[in-house]
Amino acid sequence: MSNDENTAFSSEMENALSTYQEDFVRENLMSDSFLDFVEQNTKPIDLLFAYYRCAIMEVETKFNVLDESLSVELDRNPIESIQTRVKSVDSLLRKMRRKNIPLNLSAIEEKIHDIAGVRVICSFPDDIYELAEAFLAQDDITLIARKDYIRNPKPSGYRSLHLIVEVPIFLKNEKRNMKVEVQFRTIAMDFWASLEHKLHYKHDLPPERAQALADELRDCAEQIEHLDQRMQAVRNEIVTYNKENPKESEFPGFPLIN
């Protein structure tokens, strides 16, 4: 075959192959029977993820209620913001592979505790413990695990209080206990963790530079902890002063509501 004939032949082969691939996908992977098979097989996992979303709603509401009630009591909101997320399927599969978890739904529910995640960002460090204790005191919350990375920071410098809890969700005919990971952080701790997460991976630095940057990030975490403590001290002084020097009412003896 000449060169021209050769080129024409390979392009004909490529076209035939691509037509064959498209026909294969249409007739097999897009067939009714295969799509029914996919639906039947993904329904249990879709349902499980729906349960985790319900558990997140329950927990988020609990924190909104605590914030609302404490805001009246303390005259300020201890929660700055709440973020929630359900683990993505690909990160769930990666974790199952990493931890060698059997490929069935009950193993997933039992062994993976962070499919439902709620992050509570607080104003001051003390708010974290006050909220966590109030949350854990609720009689439908069961503590599964507590990791205090504020009192015992990770080697990276990471600080947060993590709770794994079980919360009931009420379905049409059943009550189900779902696990949720709750992470409590101050705004300052969250600032560090968010940026460190962005900087942490996908770099190819030589080991000694990587170590120097890790040290730098840990140092930043320590400075941030120091700032949190200073802000907390300012708040404590104001609270103590206000307690010791209550404002005199301009209308003594005339309560509006008894």
* Residues in contact with 122: Cβ distance below 8 Å, sequence separation at least 6, in sequence order: 78, 79, 80, 128, 131, 184, 185, 186, 187
The count of residues interacting with Mg ion (CB under 5 A) is 1
Q: Which of 181, 196, 208, 248 is catalytic?
A: 181
Q: Which long-range contacts (CB under 8 A, 24 or more apart) does 151-154 make?
A: 153/221, 153/225
* Residues in contact with 79: Cβ distance below 8 Å, sequence separation at least 6, in sequence order: 63, 66, 67, 120, 121, 122, 123, 127, 131
Residues 196-215 that bind ligand GTP (CB under 6 A): 196-197
| The one among 114, 126, 148, 196 contacting Mg ion by CB under 5 A | 114
- Binding partner of 197, given Mg ion, ligand GTP, none, CB within 5-8 angstroms per partner class: ligand GTP
> Helix or strand or coil: residue 172?
coil
* Residue 94 beta carbon to Mg ion: minimum distance, rounded to whole angstroms: 11
**Residue 237 is among the residues annotated as catalytic for this protein:** no
* Residue 181 beta carbon to Mg ion: minimum distance, rounded to whole angstroms: 7
Q: Is 114 in the site for ligand GTP (CB under 6 A)?
A: yes
Q: Given the DSSP bridges, would you call strands 161-170 and 142-148 parallel, antiparallel or unpaired? A: antiparallel
Provide the 8-state DSSP code for 196.
H
Q: Given the DSSP bridges, would you call strands 175-186 and 161-170 parallel, antiparallel or unpaired? A: antiparallel
CB 144 within 8 A of CB 164: yes
* Residue 61 beta carbon to ligand GTP: minimum distance, rounded to whole angstroms: 22
Among 69-77, 123-131, 156-164, 201-209, which window interacts with ligand GTP (CB under 6 A)? 156-164
Amino acid, single-letter form, for residue 163 = L
Is the CB of 49 or the CB of 235 nearer to ligand GTP? 49
CA–CA separation, 78 vs 57, rounded Å? 19
Residues 175-194 that bind ligand GTP (CB under 6 A): 193
- Binding partner of 196, given ligand GTP, Mg ion, none, CB within 5-8 angstroms per partner class: ligand GTP
| The one among 77, 84, 142, 156 contacting ligand GTP by CB under 6 A | 156
Catalytic residue numbers read 181
Chain positions contacting ligand GTP, by CB under 6 A: 95, 114, 147, 154, 156, 158, 162, 193, 196-197
Chain positions contacting Mg ion, by CB under 5 A: 114
